[in-house]
A and B are shown apart, each in its own frame.
Chain A
Amino acid sequence: GAVVSQHPSRVICKSGTSVKIECRSLDFQATTMFWYRQFPKQSLMLMATSNEGSKATYEQGVEKDKFLINHASLTLSTLTVTSAHPEDSSFYICSARDEGTDTQYFGPGTRLTVL
């Protein structure tokens, strides 16, 4: 299957700092990428849909000023968690849609811990 990478895989930061997570589609171009968050033993929660060259679409209840999304190219989307707090600690997973195969592939995820 297609490969989606995420970096970093794990990050620990102090409260109040910002953290940037990168998501790359390695062997296909992705007009649309998605950002999810998952707390322990809970379901995936879609945070936002990232569209190349335009503004992201955020799900209800997700603060767009706190979770900044940039999709500057067809292979890269970034999520920046601004002024992170301990309650933002979670597993963040990106996903990219391969329109050629109409399939969505997931990155390996980034585990964020805010102290």
Chain B
Amino acid sequence: QKEVEQNSGPLSVPEGAIASLNCTYSDRGSQSFFWYRQYSGKSPELIMSIYSNGDKEDGRFTAQLNKASQYVSLLIRDSQPSDSATYLCAVRGSSASKIIFGSGTRLSIRP
């Protein structure tokens, strides 16, 4: 089992709809969770971080964390074509200084 798992996609969502990206992790003691966005040919950029159970909202983005289920998700409301990118879920484990990245979900917003 991979430490951080994501569906590779592609996930195709119509413009204006909600895009839902999911991630599961294996280390039950993990405390820090991150979502990064990576455009083709560019480096990842941080979108959201979340540390406690529940929802965290920032503009059109909402991160959701459920530690009991070892599940973290990212919702993108009112999806725009510019949201088309690969989204990386990242988790800092209970005993590590490094972040473990999922392989990413490719999101495509169709006009």
Contacts and interface: CB of A to CB of B under 8 A. Distances in A.
Interface of A: 1, 32, 34, 43-44, 46, 49, 91, 93, 97, 102-109
Taking residues whose C-beta sits less than 8 angstroms from the other chain, chain B's interface range is 10 to 19
Contacts of B43: 91, 93, 106-109
Main secondary structure of the interface of A (DSSP, over half): strand
10 contacts: A43-B101, A46-B101, A93-B44, A102-B92, A103-B34, A104-B46, A104-B99, A106-B45, A108-B42, A109-B43
Contacts of B41: 91
B42 A34 contact: no
B49 interface: yes
Main secondary structure of the interface of B (DSSP, over half): strand
Contacts of B36: 106
A99 to B, nearest CB: 9
Nearest to A101: B49
Nearest to B104: A43
Given A43-B104, A44-B88, A105 B97 contact: no
Nearest to B101: A44
Contacts of A103: 34, 46, 49
Contacts of A104: 34, 46, 90, 99
A91 B101 CA distance: 17
Contacts of A107: 43
B88 A97 contact: no
Given A1-B46, A32-B98, A108-B42, 12 more contacts: A1-B45, A44-B88, A46-B98, A49-B98, A91-B41, A93-B43, A102-B32, A102-B92, A103-B34, A103-B46, A107-B43, A108-B43
